[in-house]
Amino acid sequence: MARCLNAEEDCFLKQAQQGLTLARFTFYPKCPRSERVLGSRPHLDGSLTTIVLADEEGLQIQNDNKWYKVPVIPGALFFNCGDFAEVFSNGIFKSTLHRVVTNTAKDRTSVAAFFTLEANHDVGPIDTFVTKDRPALYTNFTPIDYMMKMHENDVPGRNALDFMLL
């Protein structure tokens, strides 16, 4: 990620030295009315990055208000930027809005690994990505602040980062 931005190679790692890795296994049973039922509503991840085993159909991402299926490649991993990557990069990387749709014909099991930060870790734009031409977009906060904003303001179309903007 840092190389893509011509930044110091370990600048993201320095910010996430006290990180956590969480795994989630989710079972989505087949659904006869899949056009009316989402497996997971649209959301952003409260993580630095998320890696999903995407070898079954169901995961979708949004771009320009249109939903796209994540391609199914057996054994492939899908890399997703989370909200903390967006903040660390001062908005250069974008957190990926995604959802899961159900399937009428078969069950689906999802395996995801979330790379996140400890509850009291300071999250804010990395100095390298803050310039006079690109001032800081976000205030500093902790993952606890983020979780509280996320749960207090559960409004469709809004996310916790909206409340962290300067």
The distance in angstroms from the start CA to the end CA of the chain is: 24
Tell me which residue range forms the domain holding 98: 3-163
CATH of the domain at 134: 2.60.120.330
DSSP state of 70: P
- Please give the tally of structural domains in the chain: 1
Q: How far apart are CA 81 and CA 115, in angstroms?
A: 10
pTM for the structure as a whole: 0.89
Q: For the chain, state the CA radius of gyration.
A: 17
**pLDDT (tens digit, 9 = 90+) per residue, 138-156?**
999 999 999 888 777 666 5
Nearest to 43 by CA among 154, 134, 152: 154
- Tens of pLDDT, residue by residue over 91-148, are 999 999 999 998 888 888 889 999 999 888 899 999 999 999 999 999 999 999 998 8
- DSSP 8-state symbol, 97: P
